[in-house]
Amino acid sequence: MRRSSDEVLPGHEVGRFPPEVTVVIPTRDRWPLLSTVALPGALRQEDVALEVIVVDDGSSDETPAGLAALEEPRLRVLRHERSLGPARARNTGIAAAAGEWLAFLDDDDLWSPRKLRAQLDTANAAGADFVYAGGVLVDESATVIGAEPAPGPDRLEARLLRANRIPGGCSNTLARTDLVRRLGGFDERLFHLADWDLWLRLAGAATAAACSDVLVAHTEHAENMFARDKPDALTEFDYFVDKHRPRMPTDVGHRHRFVQWLADEQFRSGHPLRASRLYLHVAVRTRSLGNLASAIGALLGRRGMELTRGLVARLRSHGAVEGTSELVEPGWLSLYRTHPAPL
């Protein structure tokens, strides 16, 4: 029998405990990732009462059967019979949440087992309504390829008006459920920028706090949502800017920075030709040597990108060789290598 879009699967009991946190995981057709990355990461959280809501956004792979087979009382499963997009999927989870706090986790991202506990403690100590942490970028083997420190909350809103400064995409922020609902959740007209839009509205409406620890790892791979689903990102960006006027800066560089971000995402997602074209677009319009180097480096792979960007850095510093900070791997990442199976 075909299940309705909001039915809880058999065995997934609700109300057996009062959860502090509801974790919302949207997913579509990525059972191998969901079952080995996001679900274990959410369910192994320490010292926190939680429920996990997986919103199946119209999967046609083994996701429905795999979720139905799990015997986990903290897990609730909601389903869209057809794909309605990640923003709508997260909003479905928000509407059903029983926890005082909401956390969002993409099905391919990784959490420290102390992520939620550390964020709750930080928020409570600061009297904050939402909290975020430092993050790292990792490849498919959970090897660190980049670092994203948590920005200070004192000027967070000003920084968010220029770029999405909260690391880890949609997998980082923890916020009070009633606050997120009052703000209307995620804007369903947005695809790539829905998290940035919500963080900006949160920053304008409530008190933020930051955990300096690295608690989130955002995974870059060729099958990520950015590469698989391709709405017109520039049209979306224009809508986003119009929505937040007059707060949003009007300088032309703002759009160029967004195109550069698109290029970075395409490169990290394994699409070097797309990335190179975008870097070249910015280089021509801004006369940027750095983006010209990136356009060339993208075609040469990760090592080529490092070499070309390093050369530009040396030229800008008149030949002086500057030291590069070593990427530090958080110890908890090893859990995703030694225990890659669900529960």
What percentage of the chain exceeds 90 in pLDDT? Answer: 53
**Distance between CA 23 and CA 116 in Å, rounded?**
10
The model's pLDDT over 86-129, given as tens digits with 9 standing for 90+, comes to 999 999 999 999 999 999 999 999 999 999 999 999 999 999 99
Provide the H-helix boundaries in 287-323: 289-298, 301-316
Q: How far is CA 224 from the centre of its chain?
A: 11
Q: In angstroms, what CA-CA distances link 249 with 241, 254, 264?
A: 9, 7, 22
The owner of tokens 């090893």 is 334
Q: Are 241 and 258 in contact (CB under 8 A)?
A: no
pLDDT at site 13: 39
pLDDT at site 300: 77
**Distance between CA 72 and CA 19 in Å, rounded?**
14
**Distance between CA 38 and CA 331 in Å, rounded?**
18
**Distance between CA 258 and CA 267 in Å, rounded?**
14
**Distance between CA 90 and CA 96 in Å, rounded?**
10
* pLDDT tens for the 343 residues of the chain, in order: 233 344 433 333 344 468 999 999 999 999 999 999 999 999 999 999 999 999 999 999 999 999 999 999 999 999 999 999 999 999 999 999 999 999 999 999 999 999 999 999 999 999 999 999 999 988 888 889 888 899 999 999 999 988 888 998 899 999 999 999 999 999 999 998 999 999 999 999 999 999 999 999 998 766 655 554 555 777 888 888 889 988 877 655 576 677 666 766 667 667 777 767 767 665 666 667 776 777 777 777 777 666 766 665 555 554 443 434 457 889 999 888 765 555 5
* Segment 199-206 long-range contacts (CB within 8 Å, at least 24 positions apart): 199/160, 199/164, 199/166, 199/173, 200/157, 200/160, 200/161, 200/244, 202/129, 202/130, 202/173, 202/175, 203/156, 203/157, 203/160, 204/157, 204/247, 205/179, 206/128, 206/129, 206/130, 206/175, 206/176, 206/179
| Bridge partners for 134 per DSSP | 214
Q: How far is CA 248 from the centre of its chain?
A: 22
pLDDT at site 284: 66
Supply 323's token pair: 């030291």
pLDDT at site 10: 34
The three-point CA angle 140-141-147 to 5° equals 80
Q: Which among 109, 136, 144 is positioned nearest to 302, based on CA atoms?
A: 144
pLDDT at site 55: 98
**Distance between CA 55 and CA 5 in Å, rounded?**
9
Amino acid identity, position 294:
S
Which run of H or E residues covers position 218?
A: strand 208-219
**Distance between CA 155 and CA 184 in Å, rounded?**
24
Amino acid identity, position 22:
T
pLDDT at site 236: 85
Beta-carbon count within 10 A of 82 CB:
8
